[in-house]
Amino acid sequence: MSHAMHSPSADISRTQARNESGRPPRRVAKDARWHQDGFTLIELLVVIAIVSLLMALLLPAVQRVREAANRVRCANHLRQIGVALANHHDQFGRFPTVDSYYLGQPTYNSAFTRLLPFLEQDGLEKQYDYTIGPTTPPNDRVGSQPIAVYRCPSMMPPPTPQAFPGWSSYAVSIGTRNAFPPTPQDSQDDGVFVRFMVNGPDVQGVRMEEITDGTTYTIFAGEMGFQLRDYSFTSGPYSGLLRGGNTQWVWGYASYSFGSSQLMFNTVQGTASDRILRLQTFRSDHAGGANFLFGDSTVRFLRPGMAIDMYRALTTRSGGELAIHVP
């Protein structure tokens, strides 16, 4: 029995026949399946649009969480300042005054400078000379140091930062009296912190027993910053530039390290005639209110919708408002 010999040409003919029948080679079939599994341009644009929408929805939530955390950190800073004030009182029997004099001349050293040893800043405070002002060496160098506990994490830096190297976020309260101008008739401050006055009465720091309204109902300090959009430099090297405020921890001067309740806090807009009142007003970059330190070292977030009379009563040390409700 004879067998047909296997011919290579027969294999080629069969392969050509299969190709001519319309069935693609195996390699081409793989390429076709790869193209079918990929994204089209429209599908890619849809995915990008969905991701963008999700990010837009999540961003406000992330910002709210961050702001809530910053508000807590700000409150913690004020609480540390409250503990420092209590320790200062324990050591000296009085709270610090908001400014200072030496040999009858103003030196404008602040209450916050006096608190440095109680905030683990002993080395910095030892370099400070209380017989001269904040702008004279070595005080100018000390006052330019950023102190973390004196800065709120939500606060926007000064619009002209080179003018305020030691900018800060907090101010102590002198009560309801006008902080500008510092005249003798305004020198009888009714808050916990008081001013020295040239040719005025001999003023010393307030003692704890003088806070007859109770520390729970008395504001010691609050937030302050550079939120005034209509307050600019009128002279000097920064003339014409936006100033926004003055808050700087080393300066014992109104709107720098102490303020009053002349206006409701967070009043940042108004007229040119009330700009000085707004300048000495407590204000914050937190949305919806501001943090305030009370005498019992608690921190409360107050909202400016409260009654002005209630707010002003909270800033006096002996106004007789014992039954006042703190929001």
Three-state secondary structure call for residue 293: strand
* 143, HSE (Cβ side, Cα atoms, 13 Å): 28
For residue range 270-280, list pLDDT tens digits in order.
999 999 999 99
Q: How confident is the model at residue 32 (pLDDT cuts 50, 70, 90)?
A: very low
Tokens for 139? 């005080």
pLDDT surpasses 50 at 36: yes
Phi, psi of 10 (to 5 degrees): -70, -40
Q: How confident is the model at residue 63 (pLDDT cuts 50, 70, 90)?
A: low
Tokens for 110? 């602040």
* Averaged pLDDT of the chain: 86
Residue 204: the pLDDT is 85
For residue range 140-192, list pLDDT tens digits in order.
999 999 999 999 999 999 999 999 999 999 999 999 999 886 665 555 899 99
* 58, HSE (Cβ side, Cα atoms, 13 Å): 6
In the chain, count of helices (H) and strands (E)?
A: 8, 7
* 147, HSE (Cβ side, Cα atoms, 13 Å): 32
For residue range 107-137, list pLDDT tens digits in order.
999 999 999 999 999 999 999 999 999 999 9
